[in-house]
Amino acid sequence: MRKPDGKIVLLGDMNVGKTSLLQRYMERRFPDTVSTVGGAFYLKQWRSFNISIWDTAGREQFHGLGSMYCRGAAAVILTYDVNHLQSLVELEDRFLGLTDTASKDCLFAIVGNKVDLTEEGAAESGEKEGHDPSKAGGGCASPRVPKQVQLEDAMALYKKILKYKMLDEKDVPAAEQMCFETSAKTGYNVDLLFETLFDMVVPMILQQRAEGPPQTVDITSSKPTKRTRSGCCA
């Protein structure tokens, strides 16, 4: 088994669409899913790196496994359902704590899925024609299904996470960059989400490699005399 170079973990309440997002990205389809048992993972080759992406189970029963899945993760995707406010609340209450085991410079993305069910989302994913000319200028009609969670709410959560992690906003990607609204059903923003993260994770992998223990011993460049002297005179 090829060892992955980096890990990304999807967290979020059951039924928000974690499995669907992953299937959409990896297999380019939107099949019927069953609620995930335990967890599953995919290996994605990105440039010369192998990135493992873990799909976790949102069901309460499997909640305890989250910490272990997150251990050493380079990025965590916190997923909620834009039509379900509670699913955003759960991210903070229940899932954020699981990420304590993640890598210390772990990235966080917050993803509101199922935008296709909202009026805005439907417009974004293809029904662009058919604008009533009489309403020229009035860009958005009143949504048939009002979106319960706005992107701003997700961004506010992102900033809370930074506080919780005691991270400086200047040191991490901006909220605008890390909050997404997606639809696993239409594929809207799905590639963008994953590939943005991959591109951010790659430098982290490289840095880890650079910091990690050297794989080979360099016998040519050892300068014993100098080192000993500085060692014993200090």
Partner 1 sequence: MMNIKAFTLVSAVERELLMGDKERINIECVECCGRNLYVGTNDCFLYHFLLEEKALPAGTAAFTATRQLHRHLGFRKPVNELRAASALNRLLVLCDNCITLVDMLNLEPVPSGARIKGATAFALNENPVSADPFCVEVCILSVKRRTVQVFLVYEDRVQIVKELSTPEQPLAVAVDGHFLCLALTTQYIILNYSTGLSQDLFPYCSEEKRPIVKRIGRQEFLLAGPGGLGMFATVAGISQRAPVHWAENVIGAAVCFPYVIALDDEFITVHSMLDQQQKQTLPFKEGHILQDFEGRVIVATSKGVYILVPLPLEKQIQDLLANRRVEEALVLAKGARRNIPKEKFQVMYRRILQQAGFIQFAQLQFLEAKELFRSGQLDVRELISLYPFLLPTSSSFTRSHPPLHEYADLNQLTQGDQEKMAKCKRFLMSYLNEVRSTEVANGYKEDIDTALLKLYAEADHDSLLDLLVTENFCLLTDSAAWLEKHKKYFALGLLYHYNNQDAAALQLWVNIVNGDIQDSTRSDLYEYIVDFLTYCLDQELVWTYADWVLQRSEEVGVQVFTKRPWDEQQKNSFNPDDIISCLKKYPKALVKYLEHLVIDRRLQKEEYHTHLAVLYLEEVLQQRAAAASQGSEPSDTQTKLRHLLQKSDLYRVHFLIERIQGAGLPMESAILHGKLGEHGKALHILVHELGDFSAAEDYCLWGSEGQDAPCRRHLFHTLLAMYLHAGPAAHELTVAAVDLLNRHATEFDATQVLQLLPGSWSVQLLCPFLTGAMRDSIHARRTTQVAVGLARSENLIYTYNKMKLKGSAIWLSDQKLCQLCQNPFGEPVFVRYPNGGLVHTHCATNRHTTPSSPSPGTRT
Residues near ligand GTP (CB under 6 A) are 12, 14-20, 33, 35-36, 57-59, 113-114, 116-117, 183-185
By a kind-dependent CB cut-off of 5 to 8 A, residue 1 interacts, out of ligand GTP, Mg ion, partner 1, none, with partner 1
Which listed residue (14, 26, 39, 50) binds partner 1 by CB under 8 A? 39
d(CA 182, CA 187) in angstroms, rounded, equals 7
Are 67 and 96 in contact by the 8 Å Cβ rule? The answer is no
By a kind-dependent CB cut-off of 5 to 8 A, residue 185 interacts, out of partner 1, ligand GTP, Mg ion, none, with ligand GTP
Which listed residue (5, 18, 69, 75) binds partner 1 by CB under 8 A? 69
Residue span binding partner 1 (CB under 8 A) among the ranges 68-76, 79-87, 118-126, 167-175: 68-76
Q: Is 69 helix (H, G, I), strand (E, B) or coil?
A: helix
CA angle, corner 41, sides to 82 and 154, nearest 5? 20
- Smallest distance, Å, CB 132 to ligand GTP? 25
By a kind-dependent CB cut-off of 5 to 8 A, residue 46 interacts, out of partner 1, Mg ion, ligand GTP, none, with none
Closest CA to 17 of 75, 69, 78: 78
d(CA 100, CA 55) in angstroms, rounded, equals 18
